[in-house]
Amino acid sequence: MEIKSLAKFPAENPFPVLRLKQDGNILHANEASQALLRDWGCKVGGYAPKFWCDLATEALASQSRRTIDIGCGQQVYSFVVAPISDAGYVNLYGADITERKRAEEALMESERKLKTLFEILPVGASILDAERKIVYVNPALERILDISSEGLFRGDYKSRTYLSPDGTLMPAEGFASVRAIVEHRAVHNVETGVVKEDGKVVWTSVSAVPVAFPDWKVVVVTSDITERKRAEEALRESEERFRRLSEASFEGILIHVEGKIIDANRAFAAMFGYDVSELIGKNALDFATPELREIAERHIRTESEEPYEGVARRKEGSTFDVEVRGKNIPYEGRMVRVTALLDITERKRAEEELKRAKSRLQRLSHRLLEVQENDRRAIARELHDEIGQILTAAKLDLQVIRRGKIPQDLAARLDENIASLDNCLSRVRNLSLDLRPSMLDDLGLVAALRWQLNRQAERAGFQVHLVAEDAPERLHPELETVCYRIVQEALTNIAKHAHAHNVWVELTSSDREVLLSVRDDGVGFHAESALADAPHGVSFGILGMQERASLLGGKLEIVSAMEKGTTVTARFPLR
């Protein structure tokens, strides 16, 4: 029966076809499977790696097929695991998907690069469909038009008023995007004024290029040229009058003598809600809140040119954030003070949003680490309590059979299986401990550190020294976990890179803080460059230690020198 069944395997199949029993015994493999068998280190009649045994067991138990992708050398195969339940084995049907995988990865990388390019462009970029509806927009265009991406997708921009360079209304047929579609050619540098909801005009230079994609009809690039237009207008109005001020190139500029305004530009007037003529003769300090006025008086008195920030007050009473710079210059035969103001409301708002985003990110990171530790704890418990018990029971059953009267060749195979189960039990136990040692929860941090140190010392061959006499019996569970993970990462780095002979771990506490240090006498490294690279994802181990420490309000410091060892110090406030 078995021979007839095996005869059904297509030997001429160019892809791997195998048959495995539940215990991993390889019953058959066609010629195309030989490279895979060599990669496994076995042959027909032998046993496949444990991973495949588990797949066979799962497929036979569920009586359902499963597809899995796996690499073999330079190739990638997609295997269908087909259970033959009545015969107690599974058939593996492989297909070479190497080229497909490479193509998918290349496509994903290309899309990622394209998206990144659009996202970081300093100019606005959008893509329109045949009906001139926006299907893609980058952050720069949102900032330029002051419309969110959701609003742009809804078409909120259509309600805006658009101006030609001479200030008259621009008809729809004058839009760069419309011209590109109608004329079937690229249209460049169409100056277009956009009237925002508050009445302010943003001047843009728009270029549009038609494309022949099913869902893309035109790509539009928008540059904000508002400042350029303002500069051109100011130059036309009074090039000589503001020749000295052109070097400053700030948004709002006024000239005053002993506080009395003798001149101001239109930008300053618009910023505060005045006509230029209303400003002449006023006190420059009248536009400042008391706090800003005090700072401004000190800068005027000392003739300081250092920039400063504060809150200014508009004509109608509203306030906004400004950055102020001042400089004394000769003007029309006398020394005057030129003051330039920049509205930094949006920047301040962005800074606050950045702070909130950082706070949200820290909370998310804290939650992710918490979930990770919970998952580690659950998996470790599952490995120890469930899988460990199953393997132990299987071992005991085999030992009972072994003690009976059985043929010598069967006894030898039982001995091999018992040894394999011992090895598997050891690996399960080590994996459980690597995920999260139960003693950290049961006995506390000091006991867990002592076990971890001895374990690493046995593996790496260095001497360990633990000083924890002044440490409290138990700390907050989160703090114990963070301290344990920092020591674990530090010991891993020492074992991999330090070539150390001795490692010292010290845990102490006071009324205010907990101090943890890990020191070695190894070869050391360039700590400053490693710490600088950590936020960019180059040194994930260091980044992980820093992140864990900061989430509990702690600080991590690494001091190292070539051939002088390394010291990792973490300080945590007691809660």
d(CA 391, CA 387): 6
- Per-residue confidence (pLDDT) for residue 377, from 0 to 100: 61
Given CATH 2.40.37.10, say whether it is the number of domain 2-98.
no
3-class SS string, 466-482: EECCCCCCCCCHHHHHH
Query: pLDDT, tens digit, for every residue of 432-457?
Result: 556 667 777 788 888 888 988 898 88
- Per-residue confidence (pLDDT) for residue 7, from 0 to 100: 41
Reported as a pLDDT band with limits 50, 70 and 90, residue 521 is very high
Reported as a pLDDT band with limits 50, 70 and 90, residue 356 is confident
d(CA 504, CA 453): 9
CA dist list (Å): 84 to 9, 59, 92: 14, 9, 11
- Per-residue confidence (pLDDT) for residue 282, from 0 to 100: 92
pLDDT at 404 over 70: yes
d(CA 87, CA 89): 6
Model pTM score: 0.39
- Of 437, 504, 505, 448, nearest to 474 by C-alpha is 448
Query: pLDDT, tens digit, for every residue of 247-257?
Result: 344 578 888 99
Half-sphere exposure of 250 (CA within 13 A, CB side): 25
- The two domains 2-98 and 439-573 share their CATH topology (first three levels equal): no
- Per-residue confidence (pLDDT) for residue 538, from 0 to 100: 59
Query: pLDDT, tens digit, for every residue of 358-375?
Result: 767 666 665 666 666 666
330 DSSP β-pair partners: 335
Least confident of 378-392, 414-428, 552-566: 378-392
Reported as a pLDDT band with limits 50, 70 and 90, residue 231 is low
Please write down the long-range contacts of 222-227, taking CB distance under 8 Å and 24 or more positions apart.
Answer: 222/123, 222/124, 222/125, 222/126, 222/141, 222/144, 222/145, 223/123, 223/124, 224/123, 224/124, 224/144, 225/191, 226/201, 226/202
What's the average model confidence in pLDDT over 323-327? 91
- Per-residue confidence (pLDDT) for residue 1, from 0 to 100: 38
pLDDT at 6 over 50: no
Q: In the chain, pLDDT over 70 holds for what percent of residues?
A: 85
d(CA 569, CA 58): 47
Q: How long, in residues, is the chain?
A: 575
Environment class of residue 78 by beta-carbon count within 10 Å: exposed (0-12), middle (13-18) or buried (19+)?
A: middle
Query: pLDDT, tens digit, for every residue of 146-173?
Result: 888 888 888 888 888 999 998 899 998 8
pLDDT at 534 over 70: no
- Of 565, 564, 544, nearest to 556 by C-alpha is 544
pLDDT at 117 over 90: no
What's the average model confidence in pLDDT over 180-201? 90
d(CA 49, CA 42): 9
Q: 439-573 — its CATH code?
A: 3.30.565.10
pLDDT at 236 over 80: no
For residue 295, the surrounding DSSP H or E stretch is helix 290-302
Given CATH 3.30.450.20, say whether it is the number of domain 231-343.
yes
DSSP codes, 136-177: EE-HHHHHHHT--HHHHHHTGGGGSEEE-TTSSBPPGGGSHH
121-224: CATH topology: Beta-Lactamase (3.30.450)
- Per-residue confidence (pLDDT) for residue 245, from 0 to 100: 47
pLDDT at 507 over 60: yes
CA dist list (Å): 554 to 358, 547, 549: 16, 9, 5
3-class state of residue 81 by DSSP: strand
Least confident of 381-390, 394-403, 494-503, 519-528: 381-390
DSSP codes, 480-539: HHHHHHHHHHHHHHIIIII--SEEEEEEEE-SSEEEEEEEE-S----HHHHHHHGGGTS-
d(CA 141, CA 227): 16
Environment class of residue 332 by beta-carbon count within 10 Å: exposed (0-12), middle (13-18) or buried (19+)?
A: exposed
pLDDT at 191 over 70: yes
The backbone region for 370, taken as left when phi is positive above 0, alpha when psi lies in -120 to 50, beta otherwise, is alpha
Q: Round the average pLDDT of the chain to a whole number and report it.
A: 82
3-class state of residue 130 by DSSP: coil
Q: Would you list the domain boundaries of the chain?
A: 2-98, 121-224, 231-343, 348-435, 439-573
